[in-house]
A and B are shown apart, each in its own frame.
Chain A
Amino acid sequence: MSDKDRNQNEKAGNSRRTFLRNSGLTVGGLVLGGAVGSLFNVKSDSNAESADHKNMVSSSNPNQALMYFTPDQFKTVEALSETIFPKTESGPGAKELGVVYYIDHQLAGSWGLNTREYMTGPFYPAKAVPEQGYQTHLKRQQVFDIGIESINAYSTKKFKKKFQELEKEDDKIAILKDFEEDKVKLNSSLSSSFFFSILRSATIEGVYADPMYGGNKDMGGWKMKNFPGHQASFTNVLGKDKFVAMKPQSLNAQHKM
């Protein structure tokens, strides 16, 4: 940890203590339990904070905050997306690329609320054939809520731990496979494979969408694929026999107003 980071952490720790004190949730310096206590994971010594805590709160990127997920949902989806798109020799995984922030932000808006889709009833999810597509009355926010809940329940039943607490990669893969193959029953309006398919596509989107959406951190997804992002012209490149690698550019480069 650099000194600069440490200072920021300490400052953050102080302000959290100030918040807790001012909000009347501490009694004689003792933090009360419950949601807020576990959320902030407050220890008397800010340097002893868990690594998790630092990742969530100390980032200097203002885009990294939550619009939809609870902290616990955040952790589950972060672990799920990393299982779908893991860190490997060829580059960063979903966690490092901030995919979970992307999914969180997408769920908070039009996509999560299915605002540009036909969501008028009657709904017949059980009678539909798969080729008829999306037929549940549930919006994507609810699909994720139920999906996350179910995946943790299934994980707890199988391995006595929530999904994000699983240590073995194989256990995580086994759970996701069962979801993908519809081996887990969620409810009559939502199948586990349907949740999986949305989770998978959202993860891929978060890896490769323009970084302004919160994922693809530092264009790390594009760099892996040698995708140059937004460029004005490839007229001088496309006819070439050799592969031409270029420094990628996000839409931010276009935004000169």
Chain B
Amino acid sequence: MATTLPKTDIVLAGVGWVGGIIAAELTKKGYKVVGIERGKERTTEDYYMAHDELRYAQRYEMMQDLAKETVTFRHNKKQRALPYREWGSFLIGEGVGGSGLHWNGQTFRFLPYDFEIYSKTVERYGKDKIPAGMTLQDWGITYDELEPYFDKFDAMTGIAGEPNPLPGSPQVKYPNPPMMETPVTKLFKEASKKLGYHPYHMPSNNLTKNYTNPDGISRSACQYCGFCERFGCEYGAKASPIVTVIPVAKKTGKFDVRTHSVVRRVIHTDGKASGVLYVDTRTGEEYIQPADVVVVSAYQMNNIKLLLNSKLGTPYDPETGRGAVGKNYAYQTYLGKATGLFDEKEFNLYGGAGALGAQIDDFNGDFFDHSKLDFLHGATIHITHLGDRPIANNNVPHGVASWGKEFKEKSVFYANRSLQIKAQGSSMPWKDNYIDLDPTYKDAFGDPLLRMTFNWKDQDRNLMKYMGNKSAEIMKEMGATHVNKGGDDIADYDIRNYQSTHNTGGVIMGADPETSVLNSYLQMWDCDNVFVPGASAFPHNSGYNPTNTVGALAYRAAEGIEKYLKTGGSLV
């Protein structure tokens, strides 16, 4: 029998970027917030031994325990879905700060085109340009409407960047100057400029100088130590919830974080939630936390799982296209890349920062004409200088085996002579790429796991091939001796190999309750005191990292929650 606790104003299921932002914003306004977090408390002192590639990058120290919970996966309905048993394609973080602890800090705003992708595509190319089965839709909000929330996130985290020189791109004034120029970024910029493109420094959430944000939080500059992605930052230089919003919320005395606790259900009747049911995994005891507002603020997949297992909203049916929970699961098309091996040059590749890099946006969004192309949207093409750790980086020229004498000699020789240009591609939604509950496999509490049905489409294959060619073109211009090109002959999505932790969709926002779960305040159409901000709200995924847009949506939701607490009812 669950123990019912005293009521609070707002309860959060998950304390990462979204939970942290909402906690900070609403506790500052005087509201009481309870945050339920499955993992442990995290501080920068936890990363005293952070420079350990094996522990953090290969053994996934900061990620969820898959023994307790995972997802199942299949390419299509004809296959049997089987569990994602060991980490591979994407990595879901755990603990206070969530995946906002182990990220790289590459921080982009989605484009005006993204938020109105359906309308703008039809307007420029006509309805027939959208292939059958692609469930493209507008977000129910515009870039202009979101701009002030982007600005808030930028100031809170202290993004370091420079204006994007590409004509027509949104002009953003970042609070800090860009990261340092290195021979790697310089070479990329020179080559892409020569080819007529518009390179610039990637906006970074690794601080470039000591910075005090509007909340009065001071943090120090990045040391370029080379241990960013999959690691926590011992300097606090990489923006994360534990060095920004969470301390702000805690200082108010109104934020109560309950760690080692997993939310199993949102409790609701007749379109109104009364709170959440959670388990303290250290005692095994169940609790009910009543609240006026429930915020579902876990990782994208866990948000979907909580809604489906709580029977909240209408599950998506891929046959009829009805219902929206689990609809428009999208990912990131990241295989159009080029590795360049330089016989004559050696770079200081052992160091770097997660968001130290240069890129071009010329082939992202609708910045280029798609009339004669066999795909929509595009990719940003970038080079990074983030620290090539030795277990993971063993580049050899195409045709050399992956072991033995030649492999050893070449992988050692090219250790500081390999650069990679990667195209971070967008991912469009499809009728038959979706998430539902698995009929067979269960989590540690006996609740059904999520089942992912997902595969690449010709849209993705064509896009990755195109971007692989562009990446190789720049790499050749940079003077590489050997260029290994990716993106050709992509067959099926492979969950074994790490690609990106940018999983999106499933609890999408929109203007129409028939085709979306949330309105533009991230408030559920079907249950007006439940808010679900996060990458799960994206109706498709852009060619950019999602965190900035997630952050902006969280600020928007915080505003919505306050409005709701004052006036009640649907905000739209």
CA gap between A135 and B81 in the complex, in Å? 11
A200 on interface, CB distance cutoff 8 Å? yes
Q: Is the CB of B408 within 8 A of A228?
A: no
- The residues of B that contact A118 with a CB separation of less than 8 Å are 66-67, 69-70, 83-86, 441
Q: Are A173 and B404 in contact (CB under 8 A)?
A: yes
Query: A125 to chain B: closest CB distance in Å?
Result: 9
Smallest CB gap from A125: residue in B:
B82
Known: A120-B83, A132-B495, A200-B402. 9 other contacts (CB 8 A): A86-B408, A88-B405, A119-B67, A231-B225, A231-B351, A232-B223, A234-B226, A238-B180, A251-B51
Task: Tell me the bound Cα distance from A93 to B408 in angstroms.
Answer: 9
Closest to B223 in A: A233
Contact residues in A for B405 (Cβ distance below 8 Å): 86, 88
Considering the chains assembled together, what is the distance between the CA atoms of A130 and B54 in angstroms?
A: 25
User: What residues on A are CB-neighbors of B183 within 8 Å?
Assistant: 239-241
Q: Please indicate the chain A residues that have their CB under 8 angstroms from the CB of B441 in the complex.
A: 118, 120
The 8 Å CB contact of A91, one of B66, B402, B412, B492, is B412
Q: Which residues of A contact B409 (CB under 8 A)?
A: 88-90
The residue of chain B having its C-beta at the shortest distance from the C-beta of A225 within the complex is B415
Which residues of B are found within 8 Å of A68, using beta-carbon distances? none
A interface, size bucket: 35 or more
Residues facing B in A184-220 (CB within 8 A) are 200, 203-205, 207-210, 213
**B40 CB within 8 Å of chain A:** no
Judging by beta carbons under 8 Å apart, are B348 and A254 in contact? no
Segment at the A interface, from B30-38, B57-65, B155-163, B262-270: B57-65
A119 to B83, CA, bound (A): 9
> Are A131 and B492 in contact (CB-based, < 8 A)?
yes
Most B-side CB within 10 Å, residue of A83, A114, A131, A204: A131
Query: Whole-angstrom distance between the alpha carbons of A58 and B532 in the complex?
Result: 62
> Counting CB contacts under 8 A, is A146 at the interface?
no
- A209, B86: Cβ atoms closer than 8 Å: no
Q: Which residue of A lies closest to B181 (CB)?
A: A239
Establish whether residues B84 and A209, one from each chain, have CB atoms under 8 Å apart when the complex forms.
no
Indicate with 1 or 0, residue by residue over A212-256, a CB within 8 angstroms of chain B CB atoms. Answer: 010000000110111111111111011111011000000100110
Q: How far is the CB of A191 from chain B (nearest CB, A)?
A: 14
Decide: A132 near B74, CB < 8 A? Known: A176-B403, A234-B226, A243-B347: yes
Taking CB atoms and an 8 Å cut-off, the chain A residues in 75-102 that contact chain B are 83-86, 88-91, 93
Measured in the bound complex, the distance between the Cα atoms of B408 and A83 in whole Å is 10
Contacts A/B (CB < 8 Å), 6 sampled: A84-B404, A213-B54, A227-B415, A230-B51, A243-B416, A254-B49
Chain B residues touching A, majority SS = loop
**A129:B75 contact, CB within 8 angstroms:** yes
| B residues less than 8 Å from A91 (CB atoms) | 412
Which of B478-535 touch A at CB < 8 Å?
Answer: 492-496
Q: Which of A110, A133, A254 contacts B85 (CB 8 A)?
A: A133
- The one of A84, A117, A131 in contact with B494, judged by C-beta atoms closer than 8 angstroms, is A131
Are A133 and B495 interface neighbours, CB within 8 A?
yes
CB pair A90 B84 closer than 8 Å:
no
Taking a contact as CB atoms under 8 Å apart, the answer to whether B391 and A117 are in contact is no
Q: Which residues of B have CB within 8 Å of A241?
A: 183
| Interface contact A86-B404, CB-CB below 8 Å | yes
Q: Bound complex: CA of A142 vs CA of B339, how far in Å? A: 36
Chain B residues in the interface with A (C-beta under 8 A): 48-49, 51-54, 58-60, 65-67, 69-70, 73-75, 79-80, 82-86, 88, 180-183, 222-226, 346-348, 350-352, 356, 385, 389-391, 394, 402-405, 408-409, 412-413, 415-416, 440-442, 492-496
**Pairs A-B, 7 closest by C-beta atoms:** A234-B351, A233-B223, A208-B390, A225-B415, A243-B346, A209-B54, A230-B51
What is the distance, in angstroms, from B28's C-beta to the closest C-beta of chain A? 34
Given contacts A129-B79, A134-B86, A231-B351, contact A251 B404 (CB under 8 A): no
Looking at A89, A128, A227, A230, which has the most chain B CB atoms within 10 Å of its CB?
A227
A129 to B351, CA, bound (A): 38
- Given the complex, which residues of A lie within 8 Å of B59, measured CB to CB? 110-111, 116
The interface bits of chain A over 104-131 (1 if a CB of B lies within 8 angstroms of the residue's CB, else 0) are: 0000001100111111101010011111
What's the nearest-Cβ distance from chain B to residue A208, in Å? Answer: 4
Point out the residues of chain B lying under 8 angstroms from A239, CB to CB: 180-183
CA distance A122 to B81 in the complex (A): 11
Chain B residue with Cβ nearest A208: B390
- Complex interface: chain A residues within 8 A of B352 (CB): 234, 238
**Closest Cβ neighbor of A128 among chain B residues:** B82
Complex contact A225–B49 (CB within 8 A): no
Q: How far is the CA of A210 from the CA of B347 in the complex (A)?
A: 22
In the complex, what residues of A have CB within 8 A of residue B49's CB?
251, 254-255
Q: Which of B58, B83, B385 contacts A238 (CB 8 A)?
A: B385
